[in-house]
Each structure stands twice: as C-alpha cells, then as structure tokens.
Amino acid sequence: MGEADIERLIERAATLICEAARIVVFTGAGVSTESGIPDFRSPGGIWSKFDPDDFTIQKFLQSRKARETQWRLLAEGSLLKEVEPNPAHYAIAELERIGKLSCVITQNVDNLHQRAGNSPQKVFELHGNMRWVRCLGCNVRFPIEEVLKRVAMETVPDCTLCHGILKPDAVFFGEALPQAVLSAATSYSRNCDLFVVVGSTLVVYPAAYMPMYAVESGAKLVIINLTPTPMDTCASVVIRARAGEVMPKIVERVKSNLAET
C-alpha cells in the first residue's frame, strides 16, 4: 500500500467520521504493542514465555501455589510493565473531546485509553483491566500497586476487608467476560452508524462479534490494522498501517473538515 493510497484512505475515513453520529472505536493488541506491550500470541509474546494452562481461572481458584506464582510474576514485573499511551491512544481520546466518539470497546487490559484522556465511562474493557485487583468475596476493587506492596511479606495477599481471594481484574482463560460490559458493548455496536477497528485481527471471540453486530445493523466499517482480518471484505475503508501513524492523521483531517463546515 503506497503513501498516496494511504492518504486517500485517510481522507475517506475522516469523511466517514465527520458524517457519522454514533461512532464506536474498537481496539486490540495492535494498539498496545506500539506502547511496548508484547502481543500475547505473537513470537516473543507472553505465551511464548509462560504456559497458558497456568493462567486458567480454575487453577487460580483451586491452587494456592498457582496464585503465589502469579503474584510473584506480577511483583517482579514479568506480567505488568509500566508503559505510556501512544499517538493512537491520544488520537482516540481526541475524538471524544471533539464530540465524535460514542465509546471505546477494547480487548486490551492496560488502562491506556483512560490514561490518554478517554472518560472511564466510555471505555468498555471486554477482557478486564490489569491495573486493578478485585476481591472474589466482596467484589471490592483495589489498585494493583497497593496489593503488590504486600506480596513480598504475604506471598498470596488476601482481601483486607473480608479475607477473600484477590484476583487481577483481567479475564483469565476459562473465565466468562464481564456480563455488564459485554452487554453494553453489544448494545453500542448494534446501534452505531460507524464502527472503527484499530489494531485488531478480529479472531478472538466473543470480542470479534462486535464489528459483525455493527455491520449487520447497517453501520459502515473502517479497519486499521497491519494484517488482514476476516471482516476486510465488509469494510468501506481498510488501511494497512500502524495505528499510531494513521489515527492522528485521521483525527487532524476530521478536525480540519469540521472547521470548514
């Protein structure tokens, strides 16, 4: 895809955003990797270093040793890196600021959309958020930094309120997606008029149903991803490029177009 082709597609995507009234942005690992977070599935990703079977919800609940291993890895920083939002995150937050975003639906668990400036109420995290820890007994959430301070002494920290099991607030293998979040994301997808995919291969379900719901309901589809996706043939615009390079250009074009109207 040449530079002229990308510029033409950027203009087309910006036009669709300007024309739309109910816009959903859907983000995947391709956005996080540009902040230095390894993709879980790619070579060098998390699952090339750790066994996914050790991260099932069943093992976490049944085995104190499994919980100890995971808390140790978190405390050492093996599963949790201190990273910053990248230009794609800031561009998506800018869409909200200028009134061209209904919500963000994300497969990522890094909290970077909120740190970039998106309202937490407008970010639906299908796979949870690793910056928080939830008590499975009383359902109270704690900042993960607060819990990690206790790991060196307690090995497996429990809830300070009810002594229940504490679990990182991300979806583990074998665990259902948070129902309220999934329901809200589905509703926004079915009722949008433009659905913008950024950095997702759309192969992880049920998250990948969201663009399907949008297209089935008559919404137009924009896909920005380095590799092909199963939904490319349904899209009005497909841009094969890095999210951090393309999204700021699209948003600047949107702002320029809106200023002229």
Query: Within this chain, do residues 115 and 146 fall inside the same structural domain, yes or no?
Result: no
Nearest-angstrom CA–CA distance, 26 and 37: 18
Query: Within this chain, do residues 113 and 207 fall inside the same structural domain, yes or no?
Result: yes
pLDDT tier at 38, thresholds 50, 70, 90? confident
Among 138, 170, 202, the domain-final residue is 170
Query: Within this chain, do residues 159 and 223 fall inside the same structural domain, yes or no?
Result: no
CB count in 10 Å sphere of residue 7: 12
Query: Within this chain, do residues 194 and 159 fall inside the same structural domain, yes or no?
Result: no
Mean predicted confidence (pLDDT) in 202-225: 97
Nearest-angstrom CA–CA distance, 221 and 238: 9
pLDDT reading at 37 higher than 80: yes
pLDDT of res. 48 = 46
Query: Within this chain, do residues 54 and 71 fall inside the same structural domain, yes or no?
Result: yes
67: region left, alpha or beta (phi > 0 left; psi from -120 to 50 alpha): alpha
Q: Which domain holds residue 148?
A: 40-80+130-170
Query: Within this chain, do residues 189 and 120 fall inside the same structural domain, yes or no?
Result: yes
In the chain, how many domains are there? 2
pLDDT of res. 80 = 62
pLDDT reading at 201 higher than 90: yes
Cα-flanking dihedrals φ and ψ of residue 150, to 5°? Answer: -95, -10
**Which residues carry out catalysis?**
127
pLDDT of res. 36 = 87
Strands 123-125 and 23-27: unpaired
pLDDT tier at 82, thresholds 50, 70, 90? confident
**pTM reported for the whole predicted model:** 0.91
Hunting for tokens 């796979």 — which residue is that?
Answer: 127
Residues 6+ apart with CB under 8 A from 43: none
Whole-number percent of the chain with pLDDT over 70: 92
Cα-flanking dihedrals φ and ψ of residue 175, to 5°? Answer: -105, 140
Query: Within this chain, do residues 60 and 7 fall inside the same structural domain, yes or no?
Result: no
Instruction: CATH number of the domain at 139, please.
Output: 3.30.1600.10
pLDDT reading at 230 higher than 50: yes
Query: Within this chain, do residues 191 and 208 fall inside the same structural domain, yes or no?
Result: yes
148-163 pLDDT, tens digit per residue, is 999 988 889 999 999 9
